């Protein structure tokens, strides 16, 4: 039956390729805006689909379901709490990004601070993508496709060679999208793959519930809700992977970095045809994230009830579920959808990397007077090199210890929060100088390293809860001690229409209501039960972080008012 799976896989994949080509054949790819930002022509639906597909990948689908299998629905926080950050993106970050007409986050950092800050952050982003993210996407994707097509058993090749060959295939196809079609091609492929992911993603839990109920969906749903209500509890205690007290602190800060400053994610919204379409795309993605729990966590819970402790490795929960409940005829379709998720994560990270390299490093350092065609050519060459490096590194992850991906995610904490702090301070301060972000990076890296050595047993989200306010404080103190000579003003590039979406506020309120409703449903006031104690220290911690943030905000505003007062005093003296 492998030929049936392969045929349906091939039909769907070729259709997505044709669709992407058809939708982008009229796009001007000779300019940097056309190649890197899709000609600033992306609509809300396209932006939302691309953001979702960029975010979703095989390691997330398998990993979160595996965590839910081993723990509970507490892991749904990674999905369900994300809309808060996306609402911030729609109302605070995106309007400022589009107003300045930036192509990359480092582009804004240069406007606000200096060229050196821009280049430092670009290098950090590229290293993170090249060494960690891209190879991990290739590796996990290769494992999933191998399990669906049974390539190891058919070919008798070693797992190393299977991963290498599949990584080469993904790399070549991914480069084809990025090199030949730029951002718009990847965004269009994400649109159609997004539809497939929703269909395929929702199909698995439905079929799994039917299997759990012995062929009856209602019986399966009843077993899910009554068999072990503690597994449905989304409110974590201090020993959980996501304690409740970090939802609005460390988790929020982590989400803010990811959804508002991570170049791979926000590049879609930077290509919006206007602010209204950009807000639509961001908020549509936020609503989708609330319902992501249905295929990124619930299948893991259902697998727990089906298999109990017979699965030694929690990461095998989702693949085992797929093999058991999905008809053979649909296996190829799901394989194609998962392949689309792999391709999306790979393509968009690759596109973000070459955008950073070309516009933030190649042009300002090596060829300041480069023409548009030269920039596009340099980006294409770099994408091929970066893809080749990722393909070579990917198979060697097989020799790494288990839990590498989670470890790598924590390692991103070395630079994520300073970047977020730079952007926030850059938006709302006028006098913080270019030296501040560099000092903040050094302080953050030292403190984060010490936390790993001295407080290694503490959840890293607690650490992020404290370090982000400290990053802000360091930059504000530097600004007070050595302010920049002239106040910064956010300039208007007039590249897109800045009229906001008229339903943005109402839609945001709706998203928040749905998010709170989902949390209430999967809590002790809903269908869940509590089998763990909640420490009173969680309340103390949350209160301490709130007081810290409040104190920093007061100090920040006082500093800004002092500068404004001194400035107006000078003007009055002159007049």
Round to whole Å and give the CA distance between 42 and 29.
15
Q: Could you tell me the residue ranges of all domains in the chain?
A: 2-229+241-401+512-531
Are 360 and 108 in contact, with CB atoms under 8 Å apart? no
Residue 253 has a pLDDT of 95
Round to whole Å and give the CA distance between 150 and 220.
29
Of 205 and 6, which is predicted with more confidence?
205
Tens digit of pLDDT for each residue in 220-271?
999 999 999 999 999 988 888 889 999 999 999 999 999 999 877 887 788 8
Q: Which helix (H) or strand (E) holds 10?
A: helix 2-24
Count Cα atoms within 13 angstroms, Cβ side, for 274. Answer: 7
The model's confidence at residue 409, banded by pLDDT at 50, 70 and 90, is: low
- Residues whose CB is less than 8 angstroms from the CB of residue 54 and which lie 6 or more positions away in sequence, other chains included: 190, 264, 265, 268, 344, 345, 348, 349
Residue 35 has a pLDDT of 46
Of 319 and 290, which is predicted with more confidence?
290
**Of 541, 405, 534, nearest to 461 (Cα)?**
541
The model's confidence at residue 402, banded by pLDDT at 50, 70 and 90, is: very low
Round to whole Å and give the CA distance between 247 and 284.
21
Mean pLDDT of 144-169: 81
Of 128 and 293, which is predicted with more confidence?
293
Residue 36 has a pLDDT of 46
Mean pLDDT of 471-491: 90
Q: CA end-to-end span of the chain, whole Å? A: 87
Q: Which of 177-186, 273-282, 307-316 has the highest mean pLDDT?
A: 273-282
Match domain 2-229+241-401+512-531 to its CATH number in 3.40.1190.20, 3.20.20.100, 1.10.10.10, 1.20.1730.10: 1.20.1730.10
Tens digit of pLDDT for each residue in 82-133?
999 999 999 999 999 999 888 778 888 988 999 889 888 888 888 877 877 8
Residue 346 has a pLDDT of 78
Is the pLDDT at 423 greater than 90? The verdict is yes
The model's confidence at residue 27, banded by pLDDT at 50, 70 and 90, is: low
Are 350 and 138 in contact, with CB atoms under 8 Å apart? no
Least confident of 48-57, 234-243, 416-425: 48-57
Mean pLDDT of 378-404: 77
Mean pLDDT of 312-318: 78
Residue 96 has a pLDDT of 93
* Alpha-carbon Rg for the chain in angstroms: 24
The model's confidence at residue 56, banded by pLDDT at 50, 70 and 90, is: confident
Mean pLDDT of 475-481: 93
């Amino acid at each position: 039956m492998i030929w049936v799976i392969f045929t349906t896989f091939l039909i769907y994949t070729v259709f997505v390729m044709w669709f992407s080509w058809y939708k982008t054949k009229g796009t001007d790819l000779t300019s940097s805006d056309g190649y890197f930002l899709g000609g600033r022509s992306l609509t809300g639906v396209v932006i939302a689909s691309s953001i979702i597909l960029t975010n979703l990948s095989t390691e997330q689908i398998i990993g979160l379901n595996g965590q839910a299998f081993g723990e509970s629905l507490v892991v749904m926080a990674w999905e369900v709490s994300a809309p808060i950050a996306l609402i911030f993106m729609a109302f605070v970050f995106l309007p400022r990004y589009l107003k300045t007409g930036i192509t990359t986050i480092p582009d804004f950092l240069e406007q606000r601070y200096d060229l050196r800050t821009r280049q430092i952050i670009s290098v950090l982003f590229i290293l993170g993508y090249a060494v960690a993210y891209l190879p991990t996407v290739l590796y996990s994707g290769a494992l999933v496709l191998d399990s669906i097509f049974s390539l190891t058993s058919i070919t008798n090749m070693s797992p190393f060679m299977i991963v290498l060959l599949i990584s080469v295939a993904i790399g070549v196809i991914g480069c084809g999208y990025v090199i030949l079609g730029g951002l718009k091609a990847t965004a269009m492929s994400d649109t159609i793959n997004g539809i497939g992911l929703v269909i395929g993603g929702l199909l698995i839990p439905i079929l799994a519930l039917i299997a759990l109920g012995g062929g009856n969906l209602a019986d399966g749903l009843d077993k899910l809700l009554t068999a072990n209500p503690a597994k449905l509890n989304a409110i974590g205690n201090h020993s959980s992977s996501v304690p409740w007290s970090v939802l609005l602190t460390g988790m929020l800060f982590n989400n803010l970095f990811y959804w508002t400053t991570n170049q791979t994610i926000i590049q879609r919204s930077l290509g919006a045809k206007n602010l209204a379409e950009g807000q639509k795309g961001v908020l549509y993605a936020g609503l989708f994230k609330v319902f992501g729990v249905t295929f990124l966590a619930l299948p893991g819970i259902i697998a727990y009830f089906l298999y109990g402790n017979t699965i030694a490795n929690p990461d095998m929960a989702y693949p085992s579920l797929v093999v058991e409940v999905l008809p053979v005829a649909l296996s190829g379709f799901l394989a194609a959808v998962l392949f689309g998720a792999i391709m999306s994560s790979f393509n968009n990270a690759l596109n973000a990397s070459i955008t950073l390299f070309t516009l933030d490093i190649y042009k300002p350092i090596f060829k300041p007077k480069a023409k548009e065609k030269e920039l596009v050519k340099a980006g294409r060459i770099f994408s091929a090199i970066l893809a080749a490096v990722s393909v070579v590194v990917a198979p060697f992850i097989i020799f790494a210890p288990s839990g590498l991906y989670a470890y790598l995610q924590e390692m991103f904490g070395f630079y994520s929060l300073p970047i977020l702090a730079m952007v926030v301070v850059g938006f709302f301060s006028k006098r913080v100088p270019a030296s501040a972000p560099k000092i903040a990076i050094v302080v953050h890296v030292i403190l984060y390293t010490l936390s790993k050595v001295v407080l290694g047993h503490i959840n890293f989200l607690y650490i992020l809860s404290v370090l982000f306010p400290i990053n802000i404080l360091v930059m504000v103190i530097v600004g007070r001690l050595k302010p920049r000579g002239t106040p910064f003003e956010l300039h208007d590039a007039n590249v897109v229409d800045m009229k906001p979406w008229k339903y943005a506020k109402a839609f945001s309120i709706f998203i928040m209501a749905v998010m709170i409703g989902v949390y209430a449903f999967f809590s002790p006031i809903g269908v869940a039960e509590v089998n763990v104690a909640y420490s009173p220290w969680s309340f103390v911690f949350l209160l301490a972080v709130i007081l810290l943030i409040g104190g920093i905000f007061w100090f920040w505003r006082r500093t800004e008012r002092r500068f404004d007062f001194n400035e107006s005093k000078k003007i009055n003296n002159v007049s």
